[in-house]
Amino acid sequence: DTGVSQDPRHKITKRGQNVTFRCDPISEHNRLYWYRQTLGQGPEFLTYFQNEAQLEKSRLLSDRFSAERPKGSFSTLEIQRTEQGDSAMYLCASSFGVWGGSSYNSPLHFGNGTRLTVT
Amino acid sequence: QQQVKQSPQSLIVQKGGISIINCAYENTAFDYFPWYQQFPGKGPALLIAIRPDVSEKKEGRFTISFNKSAKQFSLHIMDSQPGDSATYFCAASMTRTALIFGKGTTLSVSS
């Protein structure tokens, strides 16, 4: 168990460019979450996968954001036409849970995030 | 609408003292209340969690107190140490939904 791995750790891009981040969850975890965290704020939920199915998306996730989890393993988060307001830490988390089960028994494990700076 | 309100925003405690961070929630359907600890440059890490059918949970120096009628819960750090200096987040969720986090409390423990 090597924990949740995110790549890259840092990304600097120019406004208007597209960026893609990768998350490798803990191997036996079937749930994967993306959160965004700006300075001085708590993590804000973006989207959630159970295996390969994207089950929930936040209103924060504009049309420029897309997430995938092919084969229910790693996940990618793509931001198209980046804007300065997209600058944030993008956190991935994973857990193992059964449908309808309590979150108490399936705690989230976070990676160390990808820090995006849009200039 | 902020569903989980955390206070204070920052806290300075002497080494050996008690740190207390409070959270209030609005949605009575929440059934899971964790606290996360985050160090600079790292992701949040689960510290301790409680369910609403329990009024208190203790793990080492960390205790969650839960008041269901007041819709509040708090984190108590006993014998605070400089190594406890970090940002703490309360959170809440209900079955099948994602965690909603508070805005965080930056704790500084002075030696």
Give me the DSSP letters along B12-29: EEETTS-EEEEEEE--TT
Cα A46 to Cα A56: distance, rounded to the nearest angstrom:
8
Positive or negative, the Cα torsion across A81, A85, A88, A94?
Answer: negative
Cα A34 to Cα B42: distance, rounded to the nearest angstrom:
15
Condensed to tens digits (0 to 9), the pLDDT of residues A3-21 reads: 999 999 999 999 999 999 9
Cα A81 to Cα A75: distance, rounded to the nearest angstrom:
20
Check: CB of residue A4 under 8 Å from CB of residue A26: yes
Cα B84 to Cα A59: distance, rounded to the nearest angstrom:
34
Q: Both tokens of residue A82?
A: 């980046």
Confidence of residue B95 (pLDDT cuts 50, 70, 90): confident
Chain B residue nearest residue A39, CA to CA: B103
Strand partners, A31: A50, A95
In 10 A of CB A28, how many CB atoms?
Answer: 8
Chain B residue nearest residue A47, CA to CA: B98
Contacts of B101 in chain A (CB under 8 A): 42-44
A78-109: string of b/e by CB count within 10 Å (b at 16+)? ebeebeeebbbbbbbbbbebeeeeebeebbbb
Contacts of A88 in chain B (CB under 8 A): none
Which of B35, B57, B96 to mutate to probe the A interface, most A CBs <10 Å?
B96
Q: What is the mean pLDDT of residues B48-62?
A: 95
Cα B73 to Cα B65: distance, rounded to the nearest angstrom:
6
Condensed to tens digits (0 to 9), the pLDDT of residues A24-59 reads: 999 989 999 999 999 989 999 999 999 999 988 998
Q: What is the mean pLDDT of residues B55-61?
A: 96
Q: CB–CB of B98 and A101 under 8 A?
A: no
Q: What is the mean pLDDT of residues B14-30?
A: 96
A61 versus A87: the higher-pLDDT residue is A87
How many CB pairs below 8 A link A and B?
A: 62
Over chain A, what is the mean pLDDT? 92
Contacts for B53 with CB less than 8 Å, ≥ 6 apart: none
In the predicted model, is pLDDT for residue A104 greater than 80?
Answer: no
pLDDT of residue B68: 94
